[in-house]
Amino acid sequence: MTQKLLRGRLLTFHRAPRNGEDTESYTYLEDGALLVRDGIIHACGSFAEISVQAPTVPVTDHRPHLMMAGFIDTHIHFPQVQVIASWGAQLLDWLNNYTFPEETRFASAEHSALMAKAFFDQLIAHGTTTAVAFCSVHKTSADAFFAEASRRNMRMLGGKVLMDRNAPDGLRDTPQTGYDETKTLISDWHGKGRNGYVISPRFAITSTPDQMTMAQTLAQEHPECHIQTHLSENRDEIAYTAELYPQARDYLDVYQSYGLLGGKTLLGHAIHLEPREIDALAETGAHPVFCPTSNLFLGSGLFNNAGLHARGISNGIATDVGAGTSYSMLQTLNEGYKILQLQGQALHPLQAFDWATRGNASVLGLENQIGTLDPGTEADVIVLNATSTPAMALRMARASNLAEELFILQMMGDDRAIEEVYVSGAPTKTASLGHQLESA
Ligand code: GUN
Ligand code: ZN
């Protein structure tokens, strides 16, 4: 049995804060501690209380920094690490001109393996300990994704995209090969270690009705798997979808009519929704995913978080790299705050940090594994430093409470604010920095 005590200022959420005064929604300890046993949080409380339970266990003292659960990114594209920051286009042109050509390179197992390393290095650097990723259409890309996640013992969800039309040569499967490869990937990776497979029809435009039928079969045969796709991101996308699926009542009805909506379904973007679609989201329990930096970058539109929330719909929040412009969930919360401000929906920093951790875990149905510092959950823990740049230190000198500190992290923080990242109890950020310095 390996044990360690992590000491620091400690913050963990129990439910979504109703507002900034909702102090019962979280625990905050000025001198807190986590007792970690074999990668699992065994106890969480004040240092005074926990240290008497484990007097001989080695202590890592992170004070004055803040320990909280690792960030969870509920929508990201692994094969787009070299697409991020591609100029000038909105969704369909951006896909055709930049993204699809780049994704063809993931037919190579060697390229996929190299990029998987780079991708997970970025996640760790930015404090993201769990992500839900789209891989490319190639089985090789999903194999590389899960192999690297396994090597690092990270809780990762992902899947190869199903796409059999409206994409270049080398980037299409068929209904049958998409089905067969997904079956093999589920059997090779789902539930192995911390991996979860996600059935991933890319979006209505790139899947024929035959492929949607196969996706439905996969979903029926594997209720243990999540499902992810894209919904109503862009007006031209919506119009083209209506042409391709003329019988559908609206965009969401494409997925609904193939039985793809339920509590394990994640729908990226969900910006331009009809009233019937909102009703269907509420009825089925499917989860929209807000991707702020992407929605601004591609000029897609403003996500109506409060409107959906008022209907009892629970939304994820995510980077959507490579249309998203940062791997940082802090920067994602920053841009998210601004998008919601434009609609008169001021997101409190306590709500923001809950969303990126416990909230996203709850959207994934993984609240008992990740997203909090509760005993019995996996020790994916980050250490945040709100004075990590001179500008932040200057502002922090005038901050007088936790909410202000969190808001400074949210508006000004990035990977530099992430001091340490524990994955299953093992420190990975400083470890990988040391490795980079050695190999430089
Ligand atoms: N819709 C279908 N594929 C994609 C993608 O890769 N990125 C974004 N932002 N939207 C999509
Ligand atoms: Zn996406």
Q: What is the pLDDT of residue 433?
A: 52
The per-residue pLDDT for 440 is: 39
CB 380 near ligand 1, within 6 Å = no
Compute, in angstroms, the gap from residue 50 CA to the centroid of ligand 2: 42
Angle between the N-to-C axes of helices 139-152 and 175-189, in degrees from 0 to 180, rounded to the nearest 10: 10
Q: Length of the chain, please?
A: 440
Amino acid identity at 13: F
* Cα–ligand 1 centroid distance for 91 (angstroms): 7
The enclosing H or E element of 229 equals strand 226-231
Q: What is the DSSP letter of 70?
A: P
Residues 196, 226 contacting (CB under 8 angstroms)? yes
Query: Is the minimum distance from the CB of 103 to ligand 1 under 6 angstroms?
Result: no
Q: Which pLDDT score is estimated for 1?
A: 87
From 75, 92, 320, 321, the mutation candidate for ligand 1 (largest count of ligand atoms within 8 A of CB) is 320
Q: Is 182 within 8 Å of 227 (Cβ atoms)?
A: no
Q: What are the strands of the beta sheet with 381-384, ordered from one edge? A: 40-46, 26-37, 3-13, 59-69, 381-384, 418-423, 426-427
Number of H helices, E strands in the chain: 18, 16
Atom index in ligand 1 nearest the CA of residue 294 equals: 9
**pLDDT < 50: residue spans in the chain:** 434, 437-440
- Residue 371: which of 41, 5, 31, 51 has the closest Cα? 41
Cα within 13 Å of Cα(265), Cβ side: 30
- Cβ contacts of residue 297 below 8 Å, gap of 6+? 323, 324, 325
Does any ligand 1 atom lie closer than 6 A to the CB of residue 62?
no
237 Cβ inside 6 Å of ligand 1: no
Nearest CA to ligand 1 atom 1: 230
Helix (H, G, I), strand (E, B) or coil at 171: coil
Please report the pLDDT score of residue 437 as a whole number: 46
